[in-house]
A and B are shown apart, each in its own frame.
Chain A
């Protein structure tokens, strides 16, 4: 038997980004004992990378905004595959969640009359994103962290979960290890909330850090939960592409919100060339109208540079493919041009986009107030994830909840910028609330010691193979190449089948992975362990992608380039079959209530 330390909680939260922290705060406010396990230090999760803002229809800048418009925008952006109940709750509850952040110490940018300022963003009809320059995510995570540490929550930093523990059907805790010493820890809990974020590390060009290895999705799947919409991976249109070592680092959509424009190598505003029918009415006819929109003219419509992310990413790819790309294979994103329009533009840009200014200056030797940036698509966000109940956020496994990026539903086929931060706090709160209630209504389950022992043993196997084993870093790199090339921004059935073959081979190599050193803060060991989750979610993404034989939102297939109405009413669910492998199912969309239908119709 391997040794381990046991901790007892009512609610265990896995992950300490926006969703995890908000869930923990809510659960502890309900008076139950809460533990949080996080792979990194507190305050370092990927939420810090969110730049543009948090979407909430407060109407501070344009009083025509309200939850109905936000709901309709979210559904249109998601191409109506969204869980409409979640989209409704999200639009209704986001404003209260933003005000609550202010009550906990967040200091948002202000309007002239001292209220929270809101900015324009892709796919949002009105200025809706509460923000702090271009570092909104940092503001949010710091606020939640600083509030959370006074709530009596027990934080376990730099811990990784290996497996979720089951008692019959129910989830009763989790088993993992601490990075510092490599000691095993058992977290016995009456309810578990997964808030582990995305899967971006499965791709080569990514804005995600090492943590985003699909842990939540993979752990839930292995615990018997079903996953939904896993074919929808968002490629953000604007990542850095030069120099190579910074490839993938995000360039906020806020650049375009502040008047930045996309151009090809001939200097042409190519976004005017292809405007989807669903957005024709809302898109500017001329460069002049687009500019007025970014400067707050309420009679102007938004420029096509601010169309949804899936569309913009594909337009950039088209320009590159047809030989009109920038020197390093992307497009130009130009904010410097606004000097033609406003005085002191350099100061204005530095004030509105301080971290972008800093990032390009430091990493690319480029002054964005003077020169255009070079940008290209980067893996950014997973729309799909763990299937949850829209109200309670409970997965198909009793006692197992999920919130934030690792849960599916709110965003459908494509997420609007700004809807992620609001997702985290709206559904983080709900998950915390209902997990606490579940823990109050159920006793502690019993622990299956065989499951614990098996997990511990398996995690240590790479040490036995030592230096003679396969290099885990090399396996990870090859997986990233495979997913980037074969399951990327434009897909075909044939390529995704090939990806499945490659994933199968990599799985065989993972079983031979070996590492040196001991269990103390051993990055090689952590990489070897993460491979299991990465390969699991990569396979599921490819399988779901093969299944959806149409192009919709973030999922674009060269062999089925058109949208197919038949698929418009179907979500793809992947759940574990009897042998543990993925089983693909079609889930017909639930009928939307008349009231929500009317909301969509009135906002067409």
Chain B
């Protein structure tokens, strides 16, 4: 049976260091399997957050050899096992312990975004008619599993720590899903400009690259939102129209 070495970040809010673990590995294993094996045999108190182990819940986000990824969906055969594999918690969020970070900021951000506000139902039974083509656009965004890897990689949060002024790619996707929902009536464009920091995004597409659900975050969510904001607030013709309305 082959063996491999894993350098895992061990630490709490104040301090930490990398600790090396050597363990047996088998074909087909994912990184989360290795963490569980180390936990069960060498480091019982190693902290890791996980749930479904099938890429559906977005709990086990971490940085594997420096790349933000889900541990449950990263197979060992994608990694060079001749050298140690480095596992670290996400950098953008405060550390709790070992591989676990405090992602509660994301929950607070979401709560600030005005909720879904449907128009009056189309039928008496309380339902709406919607074309699949319209649903498709929204459904792409609703695939999001809230792993927050896009938040982790976004330089506005990661390097500039603008958590108070910028909601991050995840919540642009969330807002886009609401704004593009054909039965929603709320208007979030003013918020996007003033409170959400949409302008900080300079479309480097780092978020799109790390999205495990392959949502085209930049192209399909952020850029269309930017266009809507521009149309609404900066298009001189539109402004003129509004003055006389």
Contacts and interface: CB of A to CB of B under 8 A. Distances in A.
A245 B30 contact: yes
Nearest to A520: B97
A130 B196 CA distance: 34
Contact of A113 (B129, B146, B184): B129
A477 B139 CA distance: 39
Interface string A346-385: 0000000011001100111000000000000000000000
B96 A102 contact: no
Interface stretch (B110-118, B197-205, B227-235): B110-118
B187 interface: no
Nearest to A477: B40
A105 B113 CA distance: 14
Interface stretch (B46-54, B150-158, B217-225, B236-244): B46-54
Interface stretch (B16-24, B130-138, B161-169): B130-138
B27 to A, nearest CB: 6
B33 A245 contact: yes
Interface in B9-66: 12, 26-30, 33, 39-41, 44-59
Interface stretch (A131-139, A425-433, A533-541): A131-139
Q: Specify which of A44, A132, A180 lies most central, judged by the most chain B CB atoms within 10 Å of its CB.
A: A44
B139 A133 contact: yes
B30 A363 contact: yes
Contact of B56 (A49, A109, A243, A525): A49
Contacts of A523: 39, 44-48
A486 B228 CA distance: 61
A37 to B, nearest CB: 15
Interface string A33-56: 000000011111110110000000
A581 interface: no
Interface stretch (A20-28, A73-81, A144-152, A261-269): A144-152
A107 B44 contact: no
Contacts of A254: none
Contacts of A525: 45
Contacts of B55: 355, 358-359, 362
Nearest to A137: B56
B195 interface: no
A362 B44 contact: no
B181 interface: yes
Contact of B100 (A354, A362, A521): A521
A139 B140 CA distance: 11
A100 to B, nearest CB: 8
A132 B48 contact: no
A209 interface: yes
Given A103-B126, A114-B131, A243-B29, A249 B53 contact: yes
Contacts of B146: 43, 142
Contacts of B75: 362-363
A363 B73 contact: yes
Interface in B82-135: 96-98, 100, 102-104, 107, 110-111, 115-116, 118, 121, 125-132, 135
Interface string A126-168: 0000001101001100100011011000000100000000000
B135 A107 contact: yes
Contacts of A362: 55, 73, 75
Interface stretch (A313-321, A466-474, A498-506): A466-474
A474 B132 contact: no
B54 A114 contact: no
A246 B26 CA distance: 12
A116 B128 CA distance: 9
Contacts of B33: 245
B130 A110 contact: yes
B4 interface: no
Contacts of B102: 180
Contact of A149 (B103, B107, B118): B107
B143 interface: yes
Contact of A114 (B40, B73, B130, B142): B130
Interface in A210-239: 210-211
Given A149-B111, A474-B40, A116 B127 contact: yes
A522 interface: yes
B138 to A, nearest CB: 5
A474 B41 CA distance: 9
A49 B27 contact: no
A417 interface: no
Nearest to B30: A245
Contacts of B181: 105, 107
A246 B54 CA distance: 8
B54 A102 contact: no
Contact of B128 (A46, A102, A138, A150): A102
Contacts of B143: 135, 138, 354
A432 to B, nearest CB: 19
A123 interface: no
B130 A48 contact: no
B52 A115 contact: no
A115 B129 contact: yes
A211 B44 contact: no
A180 B96 contact: yes
Contacts of A517: 44-45
Q: Specify which of B12, B48, B50, B56 lies most central, judged by the most chain A CB atoms within 10 Å of its CB.
A: B56
Contact of A209 (B12, B52, B104): B52
A520 B127 contact: no
B110 A107 contact: no
B206 interface: no
B128 A142 contact: no
Contacts of A108: 135
Nearest to B184: A105
Contacts of A44: 51-52, 57-59
B229 to A, nearest CB: 22
Contacts of A250: 54
B56 A246 contact: no
B53 A209 contact: yes
Nearest to B32: A245
Given A246-B30, A471-B40, 18 more contacts: A40-B51, A44-B52, A45-B51, A46-B51, A102-B127, A105-B178, A105-B181, A114-B129, A132-B139, A142-B142, A209-B57, A242-B28, A355-B56, A362-B55, A363-B73, A517-B45, A523-B39, A527-B44
20 contacts: A41-B49, A48-B52, A95-B125, A103-B126, A114-B130, A114-B132, A132-B139, A142-B146, A149-B107, A157-B104, A211-B51, A245-B26, A245-B29, A249-B53, A249-B54, A473-B40, A473-B41, A523-B48, A524-B39, A527-B44
Q: List the 7 closest pairs (A to B, CB-CB), nearest first.
A: A243-B28, A517-B45, A524-B44, A114-B129, A105-B116, A473-B40, A521-B47
